[in-house]
Amino acid sequence: MNRISTGIKGFDELVEGGFPEGSTVLVAGLPGAGKTIFGLQFIYNGAMNGENGVYICIESSPAELREQASMFGMDFNALEEQGKVEFLRIPKGNVRFNLFQLISKAVEGVKAERIVFDNIATYVVSLGRYVSLWDEMFKAPEADKKENSLTDDKAAVYSIIEQLKSLGRTCLVITHGDASGARISSDGMSEYLCDGIIKIDIVELGREPTRIIKVAKMRQTKNILQLREFEITQRGIEIS
Ligand SMILES: Nc1ncnc2c1ncn2[C@@H]1O[C@H](COP(=O)(O)OP(=O)(O)O)[C@@H](O)[C@H]1O
Ligand SMILES: [Mg+2]
């Protein structure tokens, strides 16, 4: 089996060298944990080594992401010009679109082998702001357009993850962690749908706050389960 290396210092050795090719991996954590930086490094390192990528932007704009990446020495402009990376902005507001078609087109456009969806929790809570064909397929009509019931949210998460999986590329699905700690993701379901789970957190280990990362699950992999401390340096995430 082919392994897809993240190129993140200290990470690949936790998963036998990389993610199984074609797997869908959940990256969960509270705000500020480092999920987006992880996703950017995954796409950047891939594209620099001949594996192109699509970064699906829900929470931040492509401009914000390029700026954030540049702080860690990642210049996406050149990669975008060379057609190796696309930041895919999902239209907000009254624009009709089919989420899956948008993503598939971008993936085919740059011949992407890597995908990052950043992030599914924000997409689902703001479904009311997106007019997609998905709405017509899965949501009750006008009656409860304003408020999504829990069932709608879960149906959305399920549908998006299944569609991403159907593309057969190696995909990171970023989501919000569960603040109570009882579940991994805020929706409590993504963790059962994905082939792998990475938890990123900031914890107080009796001294100063420390960043930790843990590979809680990785199919077809003898993953190292111990949590590892990491830092965000000028080169991005570096695990000790
Ligand atoms: N230049 C930098 N050097 C070190 N750490 C940084 C730098 N810029 C941002 N950070 C840290 O990264 C965090 C944001 O990481 P990010 O991946 O965007 O988090 P999220 O999990 O919310 O996506 C910030 O809260 C900050 O602690
Ligand atoms: Mg983020």
Indicate whether this model's pTM tops 0.85: yes
**Closest C-alpha among 151, 147, 165, 154 to residue 187:** 154
| 176 C-alpha to ligand 2 centroid (Å) | 9
The reported pLDDT for the residue numbered 128 is: 72
Domains of the chain, earliest start first? 3-233 (3.40.50.300)
The finding on whether 36 has its CB within 6 A of some atom of ligand 1 is yes
| 32 C-alpha to ligand 2 centroid (Å) | 7
Per-residue pLDDT of the chain (240 residues; tens, 9 = 90+): 999 999 999 999 999 999 999 999 999 999 999 999 999 999 999 999 999 999 999 989 999 999 999 999 999 999 999 999 999 999 887 777 888 999 999 999 999 999 999 999 999 888 777 766 655 555 544 544 455 455 678 888 998 999 999 999 999 999 999 999 899 999 999 999 999 999 999 998 777 899 999 999 999 999 999 999 999 999 999 998
Tell me whether residue 107 is exposed, middle or buried, using C-beta atoms within 10 angstroms of its C-beta: 0 to 12, 13 to 18, 19 or more.
Answer: buried
Q: What does the alpha-carbon distance between residue 25 and residue 237 come to, in Å, rounded to a whole number? A: 18
Beta-strand (E) ranges in 59-123? 85-89, 93-97, 114-118
| 163 C-alpha to ligand 2 centroid (Å) | 22
Ligand 1: residue whose CA is nearest its atom 25: 32
